[in-house]
Amino acid sequence: MRQEIQSCITNLYEAIENYNTCREFSEIRYWFLRSVLGQNDNFLACVSQIDKQKKLITKNLTQLSESVDDLEIFINQCKHLVLLERNKNQKFAKHYERYHIKLNGVVYETKV
């Protein structure tokens, strides 16, 4: 699951990076560089907000990526604790085996 999430995050990073070459941004850059709008305070404020927003999104994506790594660590710790409990508790071990039989689609048969 971690790899799927990281792949989505990577795609988002690429989309943000590709935003610089998208049609809308190219037009904004054109008017910024080749017209009086490049001197208009309102227009400059909007362009500045675009840059700030891209930085914020990138920062949040980085934080999300790190959080996914942390999540995987906690998931692995929980799985390890389940295995430890299975090894030391026979009743839990039987319940664990029945759960995994059902999970894997094997029908658990009881004799009458």
pLDDT tens track for 17-34: 887 778 888 888 899 899
Structure pTM? 0.65
Helix axes 90-103, 41-88, angle to 10 degrees: 130
Q: What pLDDT, on the 0 to 100 scale, is given for residue 101?
A: 85
Q: Read off the pLDDT band of 80 (50, 70, 90).
A: very high
Q: What pLDDT, on the 0 to 100 scale, is given for residue 106?
A: 55
Helix/strand/coil percent split, the chain, to 5 = 90, 0, 10
